Amino acid sequence: MADMDKMDKAMAVMYRPITTQTKRGYLIEEYEGEGKSLDVTLDIAFGANVFFSTLMNDLMNFTQNYISDQVAHNPKVSQTLEASGVGTIAFINSLEEVFSGLSRLVSLDYTRH
Protein backbone atom coordinates (compact mmCIF):
# COMPACT_ATOMS: atom_id res chain seq x y z
CA MET A 1 0.00 0.00 0.00
CA ALA A 2 2.90 2.41 0.61
CA ASP A 3 4.23 2.02 -2.94
CA MET A 4 2.09 4.37 -5.00
CA ASP A 5 3.41 2.81 -8.21
CA LYS A 6 1.64 -0.43 -7.26
CA MET A 7 -1.50 1.10 -5.76
CA ASP A 8 -3.59 0.23 -8.82
CA LYS A 9 -2.83 -3.48 -8.33
CA ALA A 10 -3.62 -3.25 -4.61
CA MET A 11 -6.98 -1.72 -5.52
CA ALA A 12 -7.65 -4.61 -7.92
CA VAL A 13 -7.14 -7.04 -5.03
CA MET A 14 -9.38 -5.09 -2.64
CA TYR A 15 -12.17 -4.06 -4.99
CA ARG A 16 -13.46 -7.27 -6.52
CA PRO A 17 -17.02 -7.80 -7.68
CA ILE A 18 -19.59 -9.28 -5.29
CA THR A 19 -20.67 -12.68 -6.63
CA THR A 20 -23.30 -13.69 -4.05
CA GLN A 21 -25.15 -11.63 -1.46
CA THR A 22 -27.07 -13.18 1.45
CA LYS A 23 -28.61 -11.96 4.70
CA ARG A 24 -25.40 -12.87 6.53
CA GLY A 25 -22.97 -11.18 4.15
CA TYR A 26 -21.58 -11.66 0.70
CA LEU A 27 -18.96 -13.50 -1.31
CA ILE A 28 -16.53 -11.75 -3.59
CA GLU A 29 -14.93 -12.91 -6.80
CA GLU A 30 -11.78 -14.96 -6.27
CA TYR A 31 -8.54 -13.12 -6.95
CA GLU A 32 -6.67 -14.84 -9.75
CA GLY A 33 -3.35 -13.10 -9.16
CA GLU A 34 -3.12 -11.86 -12.72
CA GLY A 35 -1.76 -8.50 -11.63
CA LYS A 36 -4.45 -6.56 -13.47
CA SER A 37 -4.73 -2.97 -12.36
CA LEU A 38 -7.84 -1.10 -11.27
CA ASP A 39 -8.03 2.58 -12.04
CA VAL A 40 -9.60 4.37 -9.06
CA THR A 41 -9.58 7.95 -7.87
CA LEU A 42 -7.09 9.10 -5.23
CA ASP A 43 -9.77 9.49 -2.57
CA ILE A 44 -10.50 5.75 -2.82
CA ALA A 45 -6.81 4.80 -2.78
CA PHE A 46 -5.96 7.09 0.14
CA GLY A 47 -9.09 6.01 1.99
CA ALA A 48 -7.99 2.38 1.74
CA ASN A 49 -4.53 3.36 2.95
CA VAL A 50 -5.96 5.21 5.96
CA PHE A 51 -8.29 2.29 6.72
CA PHE A 52 -5.44 -0.23 6.85
CA SER A 53 -3.14 2.11 8.78
CA THR A 54 -5.86 2.70 11.37
CA LEU A 55 -6.64 -1.02 11.53
CA MET A 56 -2.98 -1.90 12.09
CA ASN A 57 -2.65 0.73 14.81
CA ASP A 58 -5.82 -0.49 16.56
CA LEU A 59 -4.69 -4.13 16.39
CA MET A 60 -1.31 -3.26 17.90
CA ASN A 61 -2.97 -1.35 20.74
CA PHE A 62 -5.52 -4.10 21.41
CA THR A 63 -2.79 -6.75 21.38
CA GLN A 64 -0.61 -4.82 23.81
CA ASN A 65 -3.57 -4.10 26.12
CA TYR A 66 -4.75 -7.73 25.98
CA ILE A 67 -1.32 -9.07 26.93
CA SER A 68 -1.03 -6.56 29.78
CA ASP A 69 -4.52 -7.43 31.00
CA GLN A 70 -3.83 -11.17 30.91
CA VAL A 71 -0.61 -10.77 32.88
CA ALA A 72 -2.24 -8.45 35.42
CA HIS A 73 -5.29 -10.64 36.06
CA ASN A 74 -3.90 -14.13 35.76
CA PRO A 75 -1.00 -15.02 38.07
CA LYS A 76 -0.46 -18.34 36.29
CA VAL A 77 0.04 -16.58 32.94
CA SER A 78 2.40 -14.13 34.59
CA GLN A 79 4.43 -16.95 36.19
CA THR A 80 4.64 -18.87 32.92
CA LEU A 81 5.80 -15.82 31.01
CA GLU A 82 8.34 -14.88 33.66
CA ALA A 83 9.75 -18.40 33.71
CA SER A 84 10.60 -18.02 30.03
CA GLY A 85 11.97 -14.51 30.51
CA VAL A 86 8.99 -12.81 28.92
CA GLY A 87 7.85 -11.06 32.08
CA THR A 88 11.18 -9.48 32.88
CA ILE A 89 11.48 -5.71 32.98
CA ALA A 90 14.02 -5.77 30.14
CA PHE A 91 11.63 -7.75 27.94
CA ILE A 92 8.69 -5.50 28.75
CA ASN A 93 10.75 -2.40 27.96
CA SER A 94 11.87 -4.00 24.71
CA LEU A 95 8.29 -4.89 23.79
CA GLU A 96 7.10 -1.36 24.53
CA GLU A 97 9.88 0.04 22.32
CA VAL A 98 8.89 -2.31 19.48
CA PHE A 99 5.24 -1.27 19.74
CA SER A 100 6.28 2.38 19.86
CA GLY A 101 8.35 1.94 16.70
CA LEU A 102 5.50 0.17 14.94
CA SER A 103 3.10 2.91 15.99
CA ARG A 104 5.42 5.52 14.45
CA LEU A 105 5.52 3.53 11.22
CA VAL A 106 1.74 3.30 11.11
CA SER A 107 1.37 7.04 11.57
CA LEU A 108 3.66 7.91 8.64
CA ASP A 109 1.99 9.94 5.96
CA TYR A 110 2.13 7.74 2.86
CA THR A 111 0.27 10.34 0.84
CA ARG A 112 3.36 12.53 0.40
CA HIS A 113 4.96 10.64 -2.51
Q: Which range scores top for mean pLDDT: 4-8, 102-106, 108-112?
A: 4-8
Kindly tell me if the per-residue pLDDT of 54 is higher than 60: yes
Tell me what pLDDT residue 1 has: 65
Cut 0.75: pTM above it = no
Mean pLDDT of 37-62: 84
User: Percentage of the chain with pLDDT > 90?
Assistant: 8
Q: Is residue 38 exposed (0-12), middle (13-18) or buried (19+ Cβ within 10 Å)?
A: middle
- Express the helix, strand and coil content of the chain in percent, nearest 5 each: 60, 10, 30
